[in-house]
Structures are given as structure tokens and as C-alpha cells.
Amino acid sequence: MSFSFHLEATCGAARAGRMITPHGEVRTPVFMPVGTVASVKGVPQDVLDELDVQILLNNTYHLYLRPGVETVRQLGGVQKFMAWNKPILTDSGGFQVFSLSELRKINEDGVQFRSHLDGSLHFFSPETSLAAEIGLGADIIMAFDECTEFPATRERARASMEMTTRWARRSQSYFESHRHEVPWFQEQQQRHSREQRQALFGIVQGGMYPELRRESAERTVELGFDGHAIGGLSVGEPREKTWEMVSETIPLLPADKPRYVMGVGTPEEIVEYVRLGVDMMDCVLPTRAARHGLLFTSEGKVNIKNARYARDEAPLDANCRCKVCARYSRAYLRHLYTSQELLAQTLNTIHNLSHYLDIMRRVRETIVSGEFASVRPVG
Amino acid sequence: MSFSFHLEATCGAARAGRMITPHGEVRTPVFMPVGTVASVKGVPQDVLDELDVQILLNNTYHLYLRPGVETVRQLGGVQKFMAWNKPILTDSGGFQVFSLSELRKINEDGVQFRSHLDGSLHFFSPETSLAAEIGLGADIIMAFDECTEFPATRERARASMEMTTRWARRSQSYFESHRHEVPWFQEQQQRHSREQRQALFGIVQGGMYPELRRESAERTVELGFDGHAIGGLSVGEPREKTWEMVSETIPLLPADKPRYVMGVGTPEEIVEYVRLGVDMMDCVLPTRAARHGLLFTSEGKVNIKNARYARDEAPLDANCRCKVCARYSRAYLRHLYTSQELLAQTLNTIHNLSHYLDIMRRVRETIVSGEFASVRPVG
């Protein structure tokens, strides 16, 4: 099996590890930029390479609708399709489908939903979602789960968590019998003597109820996934709740497999999650905030449209080594943003990603050197 | 004087030259990408460096309105402002103001116009336009002219051309007494023993009447500008008319100063204009077409949204050495475009500029080697 996870250093609850995937190695803890439709909005892949992005997230729901799974499959999978030669993770489409709210109907079988593009009817179940994820061919794929809404009663959260557990089993079962259908299966077999395969991660749910989270973790771990994710967070709950749910769940997830918290967080939070033992995170915050002119720096947040920057010759962040801070002034970045220039989106996103990825690189270095406890969150 | 033009090789009417400007050397013939508000839409400056862009065009009208001349002046001029360390040319704002049609009033003094941004009233004259261009501090600036509309009667075209001639004299007179006000005047004096200065180009008008073009050329040349431009083209006339006007005018412009045709052309045309002796061209076509999915290749035009490219693994242009063609498939470029992803704009623009700039580089090389006549236009 090509997918494997090696722990290299631990320091309290934090750990650094290596994930070996069919398309390369990922050094954890890692922050995954979001590339919704197989593109990190406004940033060319060679710049993602320069930024030392190790693994990207793509959204199954979006790629399923456009350009369609069959197109990506025929083109060799998402890595070849987007010319990204490193690992990719796809979500199951569940979270996006649940976000459609008015456009969906859920039952034990799965979810019927209407496309946000043209209103056409579609159906996602553990089986159809996994078929899509196998066809897209990411290195790491996610079980199909129900993202419990917030707030939810204990009864509702339990019922939802139990359905997620049943869907996890169905996801796994479909995966086991179809995983040779991944588009690069043949090619990888020719290149390597051993079988190269996708990894399937299970997802813990349970709303904001610690005992449901613990039960979900135990029942998910029993199924023997390649890694484990904590889902159903960042759905409107207070930040302390998010933190509490992760704290309660992480100790129950095996340390010899990657532990992934979905959809978090701020620059401060990602450091704290690593302290709890989290290996992987993804969040739209750095990329989405960048497109709205909200920039993260070592001195705190900067709203670049603020008039005080109109004649400010300083770089956005004097402590940042990214190509944006090396070349451009705040005055120029403000001008691009207020003039609604395309380049504003690109440069702002490059900087914010650089800020996140630098934090994670520093975290990895200090875990390995044993100094991690002394790292203070910035930004 | 720092601005100078040296001819290096001629081949029939075509010539290769070097322009020495305060911010560097430009090897002509050259195509200038349009960076309207101090940004080539969607393309970071380091990529323009990689593309071997030698000189950019910025629009005075747009920068005058936002961020304002005084802001750019205080920040050291357009080069420092946009962190572009090579030469820049600004137009006089005349063409943009005339494009406002309903929002302007013209008389001998100048043009009153309303901002397209907020409707506020402004006035451009030879003096105020030159003051703006000196404040913005580009390496090459243009006299304030009237761009004659098309069609225009002979009487109207003559009156307009004569006003342009009077405005040329006023532009020059203002420039002579204010050119020390350029933002980098002190800095350049400290760095060099001789005076470093902006260059001022005159503009030939005359509508679509060869005898008016000839008269305008003679009267403009008499004024002793640093270079000469042919304006008032690409305003709706048939392409043969454009060609005829350039053909009639070029022989009357001194060969020891740069000859600039404003606002042209297609990939085929720019080669043919060089054959006539043109040293400089600018055009929004490669950048604007790119943003509409129209791409220029060695095999002709490609409309990337065409369904035939949906599963096409080939690069956009197998003969192109740009980073877009080196990495991405037509299928991916089509997906980005149809998904309205920001990255589509960026990648398409990089390719189209690369196509234009490669043509011009090849033209320069073959002029110098004496093979220019054998170069056939492509695209």
C-alpha cells in the first residue's frame, strides 16, 4: 500500500509526520489551501509550488458539476487535470450539498439536491459520492457524511451522527470494491512494484455534544480508515465550542494515522490545533479574506482598503518573505484593491497563503527541533 | 540628456534600435503591453519581467482620477509606485477623454470632462495634461492631442489637426519650463553626472486624409520632439485605411528618433508595421482578448470556451514557450474560463502577451541578422 503515515517527532500533543501518497510526500502538520474547482482562486500553480504548498483541497461537489467526473477521469485525474504534481485531497461533497439548504432532501439513502449552476437534479449517496471521488482520483478522499447543522438538539445530533456512521461503512464498502477504478491505477502499477492507492479518511460528527463526539470517534476508528477527520465544525458555533469538540475528540483518534480538522481556522488557531495533535487543516479564510482585502500579517490584520495606506511606501508585512511583500508597497496594494484590479486578488491571496504556510513551516521546524512549546501564535 | 535613440540595423524600411531612458534601455521594435491603472490586468510584475516586457504603457486619465497624480508623485513616480523597474510610457489622457463622448466639452483651451467613476468635473488642457504626465513621471510622455473621430469631413479633420498642432506647441512649452518637476529629478541627478529627463513625443493626426497626415507630420517634426507617434487610428476605420495612413506618414518622420503607432494591432499587423519602419506599438488586443477567452497561437486564433477543447490534453500552442503552454492543457484552460475562475484571466493574458512579445523578439533578432524579409507573420 502506498499510503502510509510516519510520526517523526512529538512534543506534548503536537507531532510532525510524513504522509506518503501516490503523488508524493506531505510533511505534517500541514495547512491545505482550498482549490474549489481545481484552482486556488487567482494563483497559478507555479506560485503554489514556490509557496511550498504540499497538498491542496478540491471540492467534489463543484468538480462533479463542472467539468464533470468523467472528464477529469479521462484526463487522468485531478492532479493531471490541474497540472499539480503533488497530492490533492477531495471532500465528499457532503458539506457543500448541505450548504444548499433549500435545494436538498436528505434520507437514509443519500441526498437529492439541485445544482446551484442550472437547477438540475442530482443525487449523492455514500456510493455515488465515493464513485465521484474515485473518478476524480485525489490522493486522499473522504467518506460521505452528514454535516449536522448548528444548533441541533441532542436527539437530532445523535440521529445524524448515527447515519454518518452507517454512511461511513457504506463509503468504505464501496471504496474497497471500486478503488482499482482510480484513473491512475494502471500507470502507478507500471511505475511501482507495489500497489499505489488512494487513502480513505473517516469523519467524526456529533454536533456540539462531547459524548456524541466521543462515541462517533470510537465507532469511526473501529472501521479502520487510513486517517480520521473531525467534521461538522465552523458551522456557526462559538469558537470555544469548536475548540472543545476538537479537544474532546483528538485523544480518541489513533496517533499513528493522520488527524484532520476540517474547515479551520485563523492563524492563531491553526497553531493551537497543532498543539492538540492535529496534522491537517483546511480553511477558505486566507483565500476568501484576501479577495475581500483582509490581510494577515505578523503585526495583526490589515484592511488594505483603509485610506491610511494610500501613501504608505512600506511593504504589507516587513517580516514576511513572500514575493508580494518583497516587491510592492501598501499604497500600491490599496490602489489595486480600490481600483478593483484583478491583480489585487492574486497578490492578496499569495500573501495570505504565504502567511499561513510560513506559520505551519515554522511549527514543523520547531516540533522537530523540540522548541515547539515556545512558538507563540502570530497574526 | 539621458533620452536617446540609436539605430543598430536596418533592413529595408525596418530598423532595430535602442532607446535609452531614465529607467533603462528599450530594444526596438517593441510592443508595449497596456497597464491602464499601473497594472497589466491579472499579471504580476515578476511575470512581466519573465515575459521580457521592456516598456509598459500606463493611462494618464485613469491614474489622474485614481489614485491621483499627487499620490503617485509623492511615492516617487509610476515606476516606484507599481514596482516596475523598467521604462514606462504614459499617454496624455486625450484619447480616453475623447472616448467619454457624452461626458466632455472641447474648445481651444482644452477639454472639460466628467469622471466615469463619480461624475466629478475635470479639465484637461495641454498644460494640465503635461503637468499630470510630469507628476506621474513616466520615462516617455505624450503631447496632448485631439483624437479626430471617424468618420470626419476633410474640413473637420483639418481643423482638428491644426488644433493638435497648436496643442503640441503648448505641450512642449509647458514641458520645457516644468520638466525638472518630475518626481525622480533629484534622485537621478545624484546618481548620474548628466541630467536624466523624461522624453516628450509629438503626435501626428489628420483623420483619414493622406495630405493632412503629411502636413501634420511635417509641422509636428518641425517642433523638435524626442520621438513621434501616429495617433487617431484604430477608431473604427477599415484596416486598409489604418495601413494607408501609417504608410503615408512614416517616411516623413525622422529615422533617428523613435516612431510609434498608437493602438495597433493584430499579431500579423505588428510585423507588417515593423516592415514600414515602426519602432513602437501598443494595443489592448492581447490583454483584452485574453480576458474574453480569445487566444492567439502559432496555428491561429483559439476561442478557448469552445466545447471541442473540453477533453483536449494538448497545450494551447505546442510551439509556444510560455509557462502556460508548458504546464496546462486546453481542457484545463477551458474549464477555468467556463467556470469564470480568476486564474483564467491571468493564464490567458500571460499566453497572449507571450505570443506578441515572442513575435517582436523574433523580429528584432531577424532584423539584426539581416533575415527580416523572410519572417512571415503568424497567429
Q: Which of A:131-150 have CB within 8 Å of B? A: none
Cα separation, A92 vs A128, in Å, equals 10
- Determine which one of B91, B226, B317, B358 is catalytic: B91
Cross-chain Cβ contact A323/B46 below 8 Å: yes
Instruction: Output the tens digit of pLDDT for each of chain A's 379 residues.
Output: 579 999 988 887 899 999 999 999 999 999 999 999 999 999 999 999 999 999 999 999 999 999 999 999 999 999 999 999 999 999 999 888 888 877 788 999 999 999 999 999 999 999 999 999 999 999 999 999 999 999 999 999 999 999 999 999 999 999 999 999 999 988 877 777 667 799 999 999 999 999 999 999 999 999 999 999 999 999 999 999 999 999 999 999 999 999 999 999 999 999 999 999 999 999 999 999 999 999 999 999 999 999 999 999 999 999 999 999 999 999 999 999 999 999 999 999 999 999 999 999 999 999 999 888 766 554 4
Residue of B nearest to A313 (CA): B75
Q: Is A335 on the interface with B (CB under 8 A)?
A: yes
Residue of A nearest to B84 (CA): A327
Q: Which of A:79-98 have CB within 8 Å of B? A: 81-83
Q: Is A306 on the interface with B (CB under 8 A)?
A: no
Residue of A nearest to B117 (CA): A339
Cross-chain Cβ contact A310/B338 below 8 Å: no
Cα separation, B148 vs B167, in Å, equals 14
Q: Is B340 on the interface with A (CB under 8 A)?
A: no
Query: What does each C-alpha distance from B70 to A63, A109, B188 come to in angstroms?
Result: 47, 65, 20
Cross-chain Cβ contact A83/B328 below 8 Å: yes
Where do the domains of chain B lie? 4-283, 297-349
User: Is domain B4-283 annotated with CATH 2.170.130.10?
Assistant: no
Residue A104 host element (H or E): strand A104-106
Q: Is A172 on the interface with B (CB under 8 A)?
A: no
Long-range contacts of B213-221 (CB under 8 A, 24+ apart): B213/B245, B213/B248, B213/B249, B214/B248, B214/B249, B214/B252, B215/B161, B216/B161, B216/B164, B216/B165, B216/B249, B217/B249, B217/B252, B217/B253, B218/B252, B219/B165, B220/B165, B220/B168, B221/B252, B221/B253, B221/B254
Cross-chain Cβ contact A346/B310 below 8 Å: no
CA distance B121 to chain A (A): 19
- Would you say A16 and A29 are in contact if contact means Cβ atoms under 8 Å apart? yes
Residue B102: its pLDDT value, please?
Answer: 72
Q: Which of B341, B345, B346 sits opposite A37 (nearest CB)?
A: B341
Q: Is B51 on the interface with A (CB under 8 A)?
A: no
Quick one: how far is CA A218 from the chain centroid?
23
Contact residues on chain B for A44, CB-CB shorter than 8 A: 323, 343, 346-347
Strand partners, B15: B10
Residue B1: its pLDDT value, please?
Answer: 58
Residue B379: its pLDDT value, please?
Answer: 42
The model's pLDDT over A9-43, given as tens digits with 9 standing for 90+, comes to 888 789 999 999 999 999 999 999 999 999 999 99
From B41, B53, B45, B44, select the one nearest B345 (Cα to Cα). B41
Cross-chain Cβ contact B44/A329 below 8 Å: no
Cα separation, A286 vs A263, in Å, equals 12
Buried b (16+ CB within 10 A) or exposed e, A280-291: bbbbebbbebbb
Buried b (16+ CB within 10 A) or exposed e, A296-328: bbeeeebebeeeebbbbeebbbeebebbbbebb
User: A160: which 3 cell numbers?
Assistant: 445524524
Q: Which of B:24-43 have CB within 8 Å of A? A: 37-43
- Angle value at C-alpha A235, between A27 and A118, nearest 5 degrees: 95
Residue B240 host element (H or E): helix B239-249
Residue of B nearest to A40 (CA): B343
- Annotated active-site residue A91? The verdict is yes
Residue A229: its pLDDT value, please?
Answer: 98
ipTM above 0.95 for this complex: yes
What contacts B320, CB < 8 A, 6 or more positions away?
A: B297, B298, B351, B354, B355, B358
Expressed in percent and rounded to 5, the helix, strand and coil fractions of chain B are 45, 20, 35
Q: Is B70 on the interface with A (CB under 8 A)?
A: no
Q: Cell numbers 472543545 correspond to what residue?
A: A244
Sort strands A121-124 and A111-114 into parallel, antiparallel or unpaired. Answer: antiparallel
Query: What does each C-alpha distance from A182 to A22, B204, B370 come to in angstroms?
Result: 11, 64, 55
Q: Is A196 on the interface with B (CB under 8 A)?
A: no
Strand partners, B174: none
Q: Is B50 on the interface with A (CB under 8 A)?
A: no
Mean pLDDT by 10 residues, chain B (379 residues): 86 90 95 98 98 97 98 98 98 86 86 92 96 98 96 98 98 97 86 81 98 98 98 95 97 97 96 96 98 97 98 98 98 98 98 98 94 65
Q: Is A112 on the interface with B (CB under 8 A)?
A: no
- Determine which one of B145, B226, B282, B317 is catalytic: B282
Cross-chain Cβ contact B329/A75 below 8 Å: yes
From A216, A279, A200, select the one nearest A249 (Cα to Cα). A216
- Angle value at C-alpha A56, between A342 and A165, nearest 5 degrees: 130
Residue A167: its pLDDT value, please?
Answer: 98
Question: Taking the model in full, what pTM does it have?
Answer: 0.97
